Structure 1
Amino acid sequence: MAGVDAPEHRYPYVVALARFYPESDDIARFCTGSLIANNWVLIAAHCFAVFDIVPINTCIIMFGNLTITPNKNNSAKILQAISHVRFHKERLKNDVGLLLVEHVELNSYGKLSPIDYVALIGRTLKYVGAGLTSSDYEIEHYPVKTRIKIKKDSVRPLQVGEALAVSCMRWEKRMVGFSTVSIYNNALICLRSRCSNRLGGSQSGDSGGPLLYDDKIVGIAHGSMPSNTYEFFYTAVSPHLDWILRTVATKR
């Protein structure tokens, strides 16, 4: 995310999903999530595509200080991935998922907001992510310049930014990971970066991260417009709140 470093301890519940290579101390972050209970992480279901390639037991969540090597005090194992019962892989509809993880004790966890997402239009919202600070455009057109930044991103603190919630125009397509799909008939919060930060917004690795209003989670990072880095999308939490709460309660 091309934002600014989040204040230390400001978002303790925001986590980075990563694969850790202990033999080299390398960390490969691939998504962001929110601890909403001591063993539950709210995330985007499309992040689980990684587990088709990489065994889930080789991946972890990182929390707290993300600038140091994962250890027992700032990481936990992922035990199970659960996609929304109506998640559509091809159309990426209902892009909501939950991770069951080892117990993580925090002073506070992410709080979910029941606010109708349509009521957020015109409001300034905050987004938090643990992904890259370089946009796909920068990576493609300035590979040498951004290579150093990408290396530093593996030990970078959380980034935070602000954007305006706008009406979802009839955009025909949007980018999610490497798939271009229809935006039609999906409960999304559409955002536009401020003019002062046109390359802001969610980047690779920010998927699943929280969108905040009044310090409560109203959205889950979903994707962005192709060739338009300042317009991006979050899956709205409110239409999926019942499924989230029911799943957490059933699995306890």
Structure 2
Amino acid sequence: MKVLVVFAFLLATAYASPLLSQRDLVVPVIYDSVEGRITNGETASAGQFPYQVGLSIRLSTLSSSWCGGSLIGNNWILTAAHCTEGARSVTVYLGATVRTSAEITYTVSSSDIIIHSDWNSNTLKNDISLIKIPSVSYSSRIQAVKLPAIASSYSTYVGDSAIASGWGLISDSATSVTTNLQYAVVPIVANTVCSRIYGTTVVTATNICISTTGGVSTCSGDSGGPLVLQSSGVQVGLTSFGASAGCAKGYPAAFSRVTAFRDWIQTNSGI
């Protein structure tokens, strides 16, 4: 997967921070050559994450990409806008642990994709989309993830442990995606931890961030995949962006914050 490096910071910071190179965001504009990863994670067992979805995204006759997503209802997949932007069609893999060996697959057209109308690929704002699929029956390996209940206010989740999952490269030196679903338990941190690296114009209240101590992290090929609270199984994030230096370098990773888009999800999916 190729990546688009976005320079989103004032030149005045160039001499103020030794981490300037980390202030370049990796935004997956997905193609076949390199795809993202759960780095330093663990291998999932069959049915461990029945809400995990794999997405093979056809961009043109010759190019395709791989992203993650989550099943949020019988007819709906939640993923990132940067994954589905420009897609001609998407093949959805449900109930898979081995990457393309699924219980059920559906291929849907671009007309079944709803990208947030305010998605901005330059600022990375509103990085969220929905994919409508034919109704799927639940099984031991196919289940919808829980979403936060709609409320007037929400927890920040700072200090909570969450699980990120997906397929892809298992280290920064790997050259091909992994066959088996990977996962990692990661701590949610305050957005200020992210904004010190990426800037306050990029990291906003619509993001949620994790610490990647020890190089345990997500990256662009896990894009769109779920971040789920370990304690309750509620999805609170979906993979959006990280540092250009690499996924295993210890810099925080950022997700779209599900609670910030809870009304949008309900309006567009009925869930």
What TM-score do you get using the length of structure 2 for normalisation? 0.70
Q: Going by fraction, where is helix more abundant, 1 or 2?
A: 1
Question: 1:104, CA displacement in angstroms?
Answer: 2.1
Give the equivalent residue in structure 2 for 1:161: 184
SS at match of 2:70: strand
Structure 1 117/158 Cα, relative in aligned 2: closer, same or farther at 3 Å? farther
Amino acid at match of 1:130: W
Question: 1:118, CA displacement in angstroms?
Answer: 5.1
How many residues were matched structurally? 215
Query: Is the 8 Å Cα contact of residues 225 and 238 (structure 2) preserved in structure 1?
Result: yes
Give the equivalent residue in structure 1 for 2:106: 76
CA distance in 1, matches of 2:78, 2:57: 18
Q: Does 1:220 find its partner at 2:238?
A: yes
The 5 A counterparts of 1:229-244 are 229=247, 230=250, 231-244=252-265
Q: Gaps (5+ residues) in structure 1?
A: 21-27, 139-145, 175-180
Question: 1:221, CA displacement in angstroms?
Answer: 0.6
CA distance in 2, matches of 1:82, 1:222: 17
Q: Going by fraction, where is strand more abundant, 1 or 2?
A: 1
Structure 1 11/69 Cα, relative in aligned 2: closer, same or farther at 3 Å? closer
CA distance in 1, matches of 2:138, 2:253: 30
CA distance in 1, matches of 2:145, 2:220: 22
Q: Does 1:109 find its partner at 2:144?
A: yes
CA distance in 2, matches of 1:109, 1:185: 28
Give the equivalent residue in structure 1 for 2:196: 171
Amino acid at match of 2:181: L
Aligned partner (choices 209, 214, 235) of residue 225 of structure 2: 209
Give the equivalent residue in structure 2 for 1:41: 77
Give the equivalent residue in structure 1 for 2:91: 60
Q: Does 1:32 find its partner at 2:68?
A: yes
Aligned partner (choices 41, 48, 56) of residue 18 of structure 1: 56
Q: Provide, for residues 184-240 of structure 1, a one-character-per-residue CA deviation record: whole Å limited to 9, x for no partner.
A: 43511111123xxx2221123100111111211011111112326331011110111
CA distance in 1, matches of 2:82, 2:65: 15
Query: Is the 8 Å Cα contact of residues 41 and 100 (structure 1) preserved in structure 2?
Result: yes
CA distance in 1, matches of 2:117, 2:99: 36
Give the equivalent residue in structure 1 for 2:22: none
SS at match of 1:112: coil
Give the equivalent residue in structure 2 for 1:8: 46
Percentage of identical aligned residues: 26
Q: Provide, for residues 45-97 of structure 1, a one-character-per-residue CA deviation record: whole Å limited to 9, x for no partner.
A: 1111351xxx21xx3011223427557x4311124111113222221101111
Amino acid at match of 1:124: S
CA distance in 1, matches of 2:138, 2:270: 19
Amino acid at match of 1:67: V
What is the root-mean-square deviation in Å for CA atoms of aligned residues?
Answer: 2.7
Q: Gaps (5+ residues) in structure 2?
A: 1-37, 59-63
Aligned partner (choices 162, 171, 177) of residue 125 of structure 1: 162
Structure 1 41/120 Cα, relative in aligned 2: closer, same or farther at 3 Å? same
What TM-score do you get using the length of structure 1 for normalisation? 0.75
Give the equivalent residue in structure 2 for 1:188: 207
Amino acid at match of 1:165: I
